[in-house]
Amino acid sequence: MTLAETPNDKNSSNPFLTLNYEPALESLGDDYYDEVAAAEFPQHLLRWRNDELLPILGLDPQAVTDEDFITAFGKFEGRKPLLALRYHGYQFGEYNRQLGDGRGFLYGQVRATNGELYDFGTKGSGRTPYSRGGDGMLTLKGGVREVLAAEALHYLGVRTSRCLTMIETGLSLWRGDEPSPTRSSVMIRMSSSHIRFGTFERLHYFQRPDLIQKLLNHVIEQYYQDLSTEKDKYALFYAQLVKRIAELVAQWMAAGFCHAVLNTDNMSITGESFDYGPYAFIPTYDPYFIAAYFDYYGRYSYSYQPSICKLNLEMLQEPLKSIIDQGDLEAGLARFDEYYQAEYRSLMLKKLGFKELQHPQTEELVNLTLDFLQDSQIGYHQFFYEMARTFSSKWRDEPAFVLNASDIVPVPGASAIFDNWCILYHKILNDFDLSSIDGIAQTLADHNPKTVLLRPVIESIWEAIAQEDNWQPFNDLVKQIQSRQ
């Protein structure tokens, strides 16, 4: 190392260290977090950098080196304080006060070029006071899976956190749910916030309405800015949160996504989706599909997600009661189903090629589609992709022409539901002018990508990494997702 290359110089030229950091949460005081130190890793191999996120941070991807990622987010040089956030939460219905950031911390909060405040949160960065018996680490496979989920969901129109980078860290980890020893990683998640429902639940547990109000003011000021000058901003905040969560879960449902761990510590106060562990995209439309092997009773199964999110919102009323009138909380929550249905129908309609339909027809088409998908057990994503791939103006001529060039047609006459579905779809197409056909084809293409993160796809990506350290399939898959293929 020459004199000109002292570690300090390296850090001061690292673009990640000179971003617009704001001590937004830090300035609320240490009731909400503990200052922690990051683990030191034996190795730092940059496995993923999300260059798509750099422009909104005001950075030019060309000007950011792999070494910049590694020194900032693998070695954690030059940034303090690192804050493990405190929270509790209901896990599978049981209150757990042994939570908090057990393998991560808030690295920093950045004001982006769009004016929004973003959290950089780590996952797999070492032990904290909340690690309990855990090692504070993230498996490489866990990192790969979260990167993929976040990108896929983002491109499916789900409001989600995304991963900024993932670095392999050279440790051997032992896990009950992966062949072990298994490789390790540290990941940086960029999200609108890491404040959870469980952050408020913890403050309620300690009977600190003063701290609840302080945090709520912060949340409204940063993430519900439109409400910050309203007289009844607290009630409006809850009503808005209900809407955001209802729409989020509708986005998951239309995307065929099962989050798998909808504990209240995994519910963001900004209504953003985050923390992707044992998630899965449904292979077929099965309402009782369970993604997590430890979800023995199917509490978080695919079609229970809306009611579980509603229940989580209801439980959040407990800590908010000291600040928001009970009647306002109830009135806010009462609109959940309406918001959910409106968003779900609108998204499903788009998957079927339509931006808008008359109401009774929308409901009929969506319901009949779901009946068919459930009855036939045809691939959920495959069905919509085949719609997009084989759509033709000829479908207007005869019900029997609908989907007839696709790979998924049941034998004609074998399924009365399919026949009825074709009759309905054909009828709806004929309600449109011929000039609308290109628009329908485009809507189908926009909402039904070919690339779907079904479990076998992720497993094959992981096998290439695990067996041959071959990252090409992973990189190719992310590129396909990001180019909406």
Minimum distance from CB of 120 to ligand AMP (Å)?
16
DSSP state string for 388-410: HHH--GGGGT-GGGTTTTSS-PP
Binding mask 129-158 for ligand AMP (x = CB under 6 A): -xx--xxxx---------------------
Closer CB to ligand AMP, 172 or 225, in the complex: 172
| 182 lines the binding site for ligand AMP (CB under 6 A) | no
- DSSP code, position 185: E
- Residue 163 to residue 187: CA distance in whole angstroms: 7
- Chosen from Mg ion, ligand AMP, none, partner binding at 102 (C-beta under 5 to 8 Å by type): ligand AMP
Amino acid at 67: E
Residue nearest to Mg ion (CB): 275
Minimum distance from CB of 319 to Mg ion (Å)?
18
Closer CB to Mg ion, 134 or 287, in the complex: 134
| 266 lines the binding site for ligand AMP (CB under 6 A) | yes
Residue nearest to ligand AMP (CB): 134
Binding mask 445-464 for Mg ion (x = CB under 5 A): --------------------
User: In this chain, which of 19, 24, 99, 153 binds ligand AMP, going by CB under 6 A?
Assistant: 99
- DSSP code, position 22: -
The helix, strand and coil proportions of the chain, stated in percent and rounded to the nearest 5, come to: 50, 15, 40
> Where does this chain touch Mg ion (CB under 5 A) — which range of 14-22, 44-52, 127-135, 259-267?
259-267
> Where does this chain touch Mg ion (CB under 5 A) — which range of 157-165, 258-266, 349-357, 385-393?
258-266
| 266 lines the binding site for Mg ion (CB under 5 A) | yes
| 191 lines the binding site for ligand AMP (CB under 6 A) | no
- Residue 430 to residue 424: CA distance in whole angstroms: 10
- Chosen from ligand AMP, Mg ion, none, partner binding at 135 (C-beta under 5 to 8 Å by type): ligand AMP
Tokens of 454: 């079904």
- Chosen from Mg ion, ligand AMP, none, partner binding at 140 (C-beta under 5 to 8 Å by type): none
Q: Which residues of 395-408 are buried (b: 16+ CB within 10 A; e: fewer)?
A: bbeebeebbeebee
Closer CB to Mg ion, 132 or 394, in the complex: 132
User: In this chain, which of 74, 100, 271, 332 binds ligand AMP, going by CB under 6 A?
Assistant: 100
- Residue 255 to residue 381: CA distance in whole angstroms: 8
> Where does this chain touch ligand AMP (CB under 6 A) — which range of 21-29, 94-102, 242-250, 474-482?
94-102
Nearest by Cα to 310 from 328, 291, 332, 292: 332
| 272 lines the binding site for Mg ion (CB under 5 A) | no
| 101 lines the binding site for Mg ion (CB under 5 A) | no
Number of residues that bind ligand AMP (CB under 6 A): 15
- Residue 381 to residue 156: CA distance in whole angstroms: 12
109: three-class secondary structure by DSSP: strand
Residues that are catalytic? 265
Minimum distance from CB of 191 to Mg ion (Å)?
12
- Dihedral angle, C-alpha 236, 240, 241, 246, nearest 10 °: 140
**Residues 426-455 contacting ligand AMP, CB under 6 A:** none
| 272 lines the binding site for ligand AMP (CB under 6 A) | no
Minimum distance from CB of 275 to ligand AMP (Å)?
5
285: three-class secondary structure by DSSP: coil
Q: What are phi and psi of 378, to 5 degrees?
A: -70, 150
77: three-class secondary structure by DSSP: coil
Give the DSSP H/E element, type plus range, for residue 90: strand 89-91
Amino acid at 387: M
| 103 lines the binding site for ligand AMP (CB under 6 A) | yes
Q: Which distant-in-sequence residues (6+ apart) come within 8 Å of 202 by Cβ?
A: 86, 87, 88, 97, 99
Tokens of 142: 């866990």
| 54 lines the binding site for ligand AMP (CB under 6 A) | no
**Residues 317-376 contacting ligand AMP, CB under 6 A:** none
Q: Which distant-in-sequence residues (6+ apart) come within 8 Å of 360 by Cβ?
A: none
- Dihedral angle, C-alpha 13, 14, 18, 21, nearest 10 °: -160
- Chosen from ligand AMP, Mg ion, none, partner binding at 209 (C-beta under 5 to 8 Å by type): none
Minimum distance from CB of 458 to ligand AMP (Å)?
18
The reply to whether omega before 181 is within 30° of 0 (cis) is: yes
Contact positions vs Mg ion (CB under 5 A): 266, 275
Contact positions vs ligand AMP (CB under 6 A): 99-103, 130-131, 134-137, 261, 266, 275, 277
